Amino acid sequence: MQPAPLFKTIGVISRPRRANLSAVVPQLLQWLETRGLRVIYDEETASALRTPTKAFTREELADQAQILLVLGGDGTLLAAARVAAPRCIPILPINMGSLGFLTSFTVEELYPALEETLAGRSSMSERVMLQVEHLRGETVLDRQHVLNDAVVNKSALARMIELELSIDGDFVCRYRADGLVLATPTGSTAYSLSAGGPIVHPAVEAFVITPICPHTLTDRPVVVRDSSSIEVKLAGNAESVFLTLDGQKGIPMQSEDRLRLRRSPQCLKLIQPPKKSYFEILRNKLKWGEV
C-alpha cells in the first residue's frame, strides 16, 4: 500500500512552445493522477495534450496548488517564482532547457524526484529574494520581488548612463557604465556573472552589485550584507534607460528616478536533488575541470 502523498494538488507550468513537451506531459499527468493527485496545468502544458481539459492561468494555479512542477529552463522557473513565492508554494524544477542553474533536475530524474517529493523526502532550499521599489520623487511607482536580479541598463544605441549608489544612507560612488546589476546569491550565476561578478553560495547572506562595462576600470563588483538598504539614482542623461526585473519585466526610467532595494520578506522554496551539492551543479553547468 502506497503512503498518502504529502501534496494533494499539483500545478504544472511548462515552457512555451517546447517541442519535447508532448513526449513528456501526457505520461506525466497520467502518472500523477493514478496516485490520487489532483493535477491542474497552464495553457502551455495544455498545448501538449491531444484532448486537454480546462487550463488555468499561472496565478490561478498558484492559488489552488500546494506545489508547482515546472518543466522548462531557468526563465520558466523565474516566471513561476513570481506567483509561487508570495504564496509560499514550493517549486520542483525539471530542466527542459539548456544550461539551467536553477532547474537542476534532468528529465530522466523526473519520476524519482516526484517519488521523493510526494513522500516528503525531498531536499528544500529557501532562496532569498530582493524587494525592488521604483521611486519618482517620493512616490513609489512600482514594487516588485525578484529571485535573480534587478538590472538598470541602456538600449543598444544609447550613450553611457550615470548612476549614483548609496548603501545604508552612505554615498558609495557614481558609475558611468552601460548599466548596473543588483543580484541575490541565486542571481550571482546569471547576468552578474556574465558582467564579471563573483559566484555567491545561496546560503551566504549577501547581495552583489556589479557594474556593466564601467568607464572606470577600478569600478569593480561589490558584495554587501543582505540586511543593507541599497539606493540607486539615475543621474544625467536617461534616454532609453530601463529597469529589468529577473529578465521578465521591463520598466522605462527617467532622469532622477531612484531604486530602493532591500531583502524581500518573501522567499522561494526550491526543491533540489538531495544527492547533488551546489558545487557539483556548478561543476556540471560551468564545465569546471574539463580540458
Mean pLDDT of 263-285: 89
Active site residue 219: no
pLDDT at 3 exceeding the cut of 60: no
Mean pLDDT of 197-214: 96
Which parts of 142-286 fold into alpha helices (H)?
A: 191-194, 278-286
**What is d(CA 54, CA 36) in angstroms, rounded to the nearest whole number?**
19
DSSP 82: H
Per-residue pLDDT at 2: 47
Instruction: Give me the residues paired with residue 70 across strands.
Output: 13, 93
Q: Which of 91, 39, 34, 87 is nearest to 59 (CA)?
A: 87
DSSP 199: P
Question: DSSP assignment of 88-99, as one string?
Answer: T--EEEEE-SSS
CATH 3.40.50.10330 for domain 9-122+274-286, yes or no, is yes
Three-state secondary structure readout of 227-255: CCCEEEEEECCCCCEEEEECCCEEEECCC
**What is d(CA 245, CA 78) in angstroms, rounded to the nearest whole number?**
10
**pLDDT, the chain, mean:** 91
CB 179 within 8 A of CB 161: yes
Sequence-distant (≥ 6) Cβ neighbours of residue 280 within 8 angstroms = none
Sequence-distant (≥ 6) Cβ neighbours of residue 153 within 8 angstroms = 161, 178, 179, 180, 212, 241, 242, 244
**Minimum mean pLDDT among 19-28, 107-116, 173-182: which range?**
19-28
Helix, strand, or coil (residue 52): coil
pLDDT at 113 exceeding the cut of 60: yes
**Minimum mean pLDDT among 71-80, 192-201, 217-226, 274-283: which range?**
274-283
Catalytic residue among 42, 74, 149, 226: 74
Per-residue burial over 258-282, b = 16 or more CB atoms within 10 Å of its CB, e = otherwise: bbbbbbbebbbbbbbbeeeeeeebe
pLDDT one-digit tens code per residue, 123-180: 899 999 999 999 999 999 999 999 999 999 987 766 889 999 999 999 999 999 999 9
**What is d(CA 187, CA 145) in angstroms, rounded to the nearest whole number?**
13
CB 223 within 8 A of CB 206: yes
> Between 2.60.200.30, 1.10.760.10, 3.40.50.150, 3.40.50.2300, what CATH number should domain 129-265 receive?
2.60.200.30
Per-residue pLDDT at 289: 78
Per-residue pLDDT at 291: 60
**What is d(CA 290, CA 113) in angstroms, rounded to the nearest whole number?**
28
| Three cell numbers written together for 18 | 517546447
| Three cell numbers written together for 72 | 522548462
Mean pLDDT of 103-127: 91
Domain ranges of the chain: 9-122+274-286, 129-265
**Percent of the chain residues past pLDDT 70, beyond the cut:** 96
φ, ψ (nearest 5 deg) of residue 41 = -150, 165
